[in-house]
Structure 1
Amino acid sequence: MKNTHLLWMLVPVLLAACRKEQKTIPETVTQVGAADTGALKRMYVLNEGNMGSNKASLDYLDLQTGQYHQDIYEQANPTVVKGLGDVGNDLGVYGSKLFIVVNNSNKVEVVNANTVKQIGQINIQNCRNVIFNNGKDYVSAYLGIVGDPKAPNGAVYEIDTASLQITRKVTVGRQPEELAIVNNKLYVANSGGYSPPNYERTVSVVDLNSFTEIKRIDVAINLEKLKPDGYGNLYVTSRGDYYTIPPDLYVIDTKTDSVKKDFKLPVSNLVISGDTAYMYAVAFSYTTGQNTISYSMIDVKTETVLNKQYITDGTQQQIKVPYGIAVNPVTHEVYVTDAKNYVTPGTLYSFGTDGKKKWSVTTGDIPGHFTFLYNSKH
């Protein structure tokens, strides 16, 4: 009993010592797959973390060892106050740098792509998505305060990837989301998501030389995802209004900058690899209070829906809320994340080319965004 009493007296002292040393939570490492010494080094997974919880986190799959490393940013940067920040919204590798868009912290965090040690940050209010081109980093931003129906039009910022300085800014539509670059033109999906039912319904077209908006393409309400194929087309998703207008998928011809096809197919997110688009839909309805979940594939060369699935073993029944999707450009494995209830750790699934689950692993909260780091030897 005396020893127990002494132990409890020492606990506050030990806790105080830990706080002073700013010890980090040890990263979790899980063996999930086989080693691959090919062109790819890592796949980074950005976990959004619930808004206001300051729980954005970064994981990575080491493709050369088959190990999954969870919560690595704080491990690499133990003295950074508040860690990665609030709501990780997008990320991408350019050269030796990894750019991480942290939406509600109003910043783009820049770290070394190999060590994940902080290099710097770019402050951009309500930043959303990122894309790269010719030494520049382009970031879309809502501007205004989250939830403000009177928020101003959004913008895209051009950032020099070497100096990390903002070089130019162009105004686009309200609440811009994903971006794509085709033939020296920057395309921006405008959502208007702050002001239902008065949603935006256009894709802004920005000339990269003059960095001015030269056109808006009328598509559909509440646009979000924007993916180029290899044939000069853009695939853009509409989230609908969550009541009577369902989510949908459209194709834009960048030669004419006009809509060429409406698939009339619910799509929430997609990734295009080669001639195939891999997609899922989480169609939420305020009328029913439920999600309708579906998975589909498209041949982008023929622009036809394929009569097959990329998950063939029934694992989709275990996925409560699909939230992110990626395709390994070398092995063609398909990765799908499950956000579950949005407040607890999610799950990352890997599926082989036969559609069968290869493995699954626990992630941070709301895993949704991917980028690949290539081996410098290739």
Structure 2
Amino acid sequence: MKFKKHYVSILAIAFLFASCTKDDVAENDVPLGAYDNGILILNEGNYGTPNASISYISNDFLTFQNNIFLTVNPTKVLGDVAQSMSFDNDKAYIVINNSNKVEVVNRYTFESLGTITENIKNPRFSVVLNGKLYVTNATSKAITIYDATTFSYIASIELNKTAEKIVTANGKLYVMNGAYGYGNQVTVVNPTTKAIVSTITVEEGVNSIEEKNGVVYVLCGNSARSKLFKINSSSDTATSFESTTLTGSLNMDVEGDKIYYTSGAGVYVMNTTATSFSETALISVAYTPYSTFYGFNVIDGNIYTADANGFTADGTVTVYNSTGTVVKTFTVGKGPNSFYSNK
């Protein structure tokens, strides 16, 4: 009799656990908005014309939509040159370069949450760390700081040099001091003291910076060589290797244990543990300067590339799998320059 009671109790607990588990799974599967579980494509638009836009592709490629910001916010204009985007919890911060603002939206519904303009001077890139939004500004050559929730201005960090792409590692900010093929430094900033910790000299033509597992990867490319630096974020010391055969490398993206990058008409890949560049292209395409690979990112093993089509027509997005086979193509807005996972 006692055994039977225990057996019934065990069955009841098991049923309750199974029911809760099913409910939890079902709840976790519910999208947080129309643009959850997909890829956001930033289309910068034509310079001097407020025709920037954002496109959405679902992870299964079955749903595709252009102009999602305008669709959700029909009375607002995204602006002139959508440069970059960063995220914090359910918020997306869209840096609008020539409009001198940062548009804030709910990343899943794209409902407008506010606009940041104070002390924004030709903004380029942004990142959120410990509840604060850090924005690099080309004209003022400074990092401006905002409360990531209220969007109020806090302070500025003067760099007095090119302020471009920015990442965080080990509680610090790493700012690329180069753009358009020029520049050879990375500035390290302590966000707590707002002081410059160090300046790391890399190779002329610094163009990409990524953080992965505490390592800051910096790619540089010029007409003489391509050079990759790996910065230890604990000591801020760097090691590097180069190729003088594969020159002018651009568009680095680090995914898992792989480093992807472009050079001319090719997409290349090497391991994060590599000590030399891969010089065999995974993907080769027809090449037009300042148009081919205008946008490039790797997300969940898929390689997303964008051709700006000379900014005379809408951009073309081509998605490849990890072996370099075309998976899908889409026509998006003008000047697609970057892709972001939204999940």
| C-alpha distance in structure 2 between counterparts of 1:192 and 1:358, whole Å | 32
Aligned pairs for 1:137-148 (under 5 A) are 137-144=133-140
Shift of 1:310: 3.9
1:92-241 correspondence to structure 2 within 5 Å = 92-123=86-117, 124-144=120-140, 154-191=141-178, 200-230=183-213, 232-238=214-220, 240=222
**CA distance, structure 1, for counterparts of residue 317 and residue 329 of structure 2:** 5
2:266 corresponds to which residue? 294
Q: Aligned partners of 2:228, 2:306: CA distance in 1, in Å?
A: 21
Q: TM-score, normalised by structure 1?
A: 0.74
Partner of 2:236: 257
The answer as to whether partners of 2:241 and 2:275 remain within 8 angstroms in 1 is no
Identity %, equivalent residues: 27
Matched residue SS, 1:365: coil
Q: Which ranges of structure 2 fall in alignment gaps of 5 or more residues?
A: 1-28
- Deviation at residue 173 of structure 1 after TM alignment: 4.4
Q: How does 1:1-378 map to 2 (within 5 A)?
A: 41-63=37-59, 66-80=62-76, 83-123=77-117, 124-144=120-140, 154-191=141-178, 200-230=183-213, 232-238=214-220, 240=222, 248-264=227-243, 265=246, 266-281=248-263, 292-306=264-278, 309-311=281-283, 316-317=285-286, 321-329=292-300, 332-374=301-343
For residues 239 and 38 of structure 1, the distance between their equivalents in structure 2, rounded to whole angstroms, comes to 44
Please report the RMSD computed on the Cα atoms of aligned residues, expressed in angstroms: 2.5
Corresponding letter in the other structure for 2:199? R
Deviation at 1:245, TM superposition (A): 5.2
Check the 8 A contact 1:310/1:334 in 2, yes or no: no
Query: Relative to 1, partners in 2 of residues 1:64 and 1:204: Cα closer, same or farther, differing over 3 Å?
Result: same
8 Å CA contact retained: 1:49, 1:343: no
Structure 2 residue matching 1:176: 3-state secondary structure: coil
CA contact (8 A) 2:44 2:80 kept: yes
Structure 1, unmatched stretches of 5+, are: 1-36, 145-153, 282-291
Give the alignment's TM-score, normalised by structure 2. 0.81
Residue 24 of structure 1 corresponds to none
Q: What is the count of residue pairs matched by the alignment?
A: 304
Cα displacement (A) at 1:46: 0.5
